[in-house]
Amino acid sequence: MDIHQAQAFLVVAEELHFGRAAARLNMAQPPLSRLIKQLERSLGAELFERSTRHVSITAAGRALLEPAQRLLDASQEARDAVQDAVAGRIGRVRLGFAGASINRKVGELARQVRARRPGVVLELHSSQFSHLGLERVLDGSLDLVIGRWDYLPAEIASRVIAREQVMVALPAQHRLAQRSTVSMKDLAEEQWIALPGDSGSALSNRLRSLAMQAGFVPRVTQTTPDSWTQVVLVGAQMGCALTMDSVRDNVTSDGVVFLPIQGADQPLEVRMIWRAGEENPALRDVVGIVSGLFAPLEGAAAAPEATSSGRMPS
């Protein structure tokens, strides 16, 4: 039994009159009669008793009522699912992020997606540092990543969602800890505790560039898996760390002081990135929610080749 046969059968069963049923189905009566006869032959049973004045449903017909309705309901459910997917009302979006400094933004985004698009599953993947997150967006294993990059390839679209002040984290007992600001030159002999990164990582690049401007190469003695561990090691007097005000505001930091760096006025931009030209409607909707949630930042610089080619809202 196909969808058309099920629909025709149910209308005839409701009307018990082939003429009225044909009118409801927008078809002539003879094709409707042939359709029901074909269904009866395929099932091997009469579904209706017919006379010149009367149509009644048989026991076999009554047994078919519920299965036929389920078939129609399943067909409608399939159509609705496709339409919802095309409209972005259902789907899956895989979001990568790293560190406690971004947790609040991710939490607010997740709440908004759940409220506005309850049919969209937002999969959260933590510990996705910027350079690894970029790789996963490029290979398609993640749809969105929030992070910090100085350079992005042309096939990546992005949006700035926040700016962060670069700071240095020092042990509370450090000789410079009582100052209101610190110069990078004063940190030339320090041991540095860094996060994982490569040439595309904005924070790693910032450490190298600030150190070079101050005339030294930073001596990185430890690399930590996350900002929380980095702060813990600083508190244990294992070294100092280049970090952001968002870490200061979101990570417990007993025994650690955070100081602005003289001359380091250019903020780090936190970006959300995705593959340019991505056709996933659910992803498009999540990007749209972010566009409303994090208002455009005045003067936000676009990463080279990053934002002009995407089809998502920007």
Identify whether 28 is part of a domain: yes
- The mean pLDDT value for 18-22 works out to 91
Higher pLDDT, 87 or 190: 190
- The CATH code of the domain that includes 42 is 1.10.10.10
Q: Is residue 311 a part of any domain in this protein? A: no
Tens of pLDDT, residues 175-220 = 999 999 999 999 999 999 998 876 557 888 899 999 999 999 999 9
Where is average pLDDT lowest: 79-93, 231-245, 251-265, 271-285? 79-93
Measured distance between the N- and C-terminal CA atoms of the chain, rounded to whole angstroms: 48
**Quick one: average pLDDT of 275-286?**
87
Asked if 99 and 73 sit in the same domain, the reply is: no
Q: Which helix (H) or strand (E) holds 48?
A: strand 48-50
pTM for the model stands at: 0.65
209 falls within a domain:
yes
pLDDT of residue 189: 95
Q: What is the mean pLDDT of residues 219-225?
A: 92
Does one domain contain both 170 and 255? yes
- Let me know whether 78 and 138 are in one domain: no
Both 131 and 274 in a single domain?
yes
Question: What mean pLDDT value characterizes the chain?
Answer: 86
Start-end of H helices in 139-279:
202-213, 227-235, 245-250
Domain that holds residue 180: 166-260
Q: Is 314 a domain residue?
A: no
Indicate the pLDDT class of residue 63, thresholds 50, 70 and 90: very high
pLDDT given for residue 216 in this prediction: 96
Domain annotation covers residue 227:
yes
**Cα–chain-centroid distance for residue 137?**
11
pLDDT at 99: 66
Whether 148 and 226 share a structural domain: no
- Residues 159, 222 within the same domain: no
Confidence of residue 86 (pLDDT cuts 50, 70, 90): low
Element (H, E) at 72: helix 59-87
List C-alpha distances in Å: 308 to 207, 271, 277, 312: 29, 15, 10, 10
Rounded to whole angstroms, the Cα distance separating 18 from 26 reads 12
Domain count within the chain: 3
> What is the distance of C-alpha 213 from the center of its chain?
38
Same domain, 184 and 67: no
DSSP state, residue 185: G
Are residues 170 and 159 located together in one domain of the fold? no
Same domain, 82 and 96: no
Residue 208 lies in a domain: yes
Is 307 part of a structural domain of the chain? no
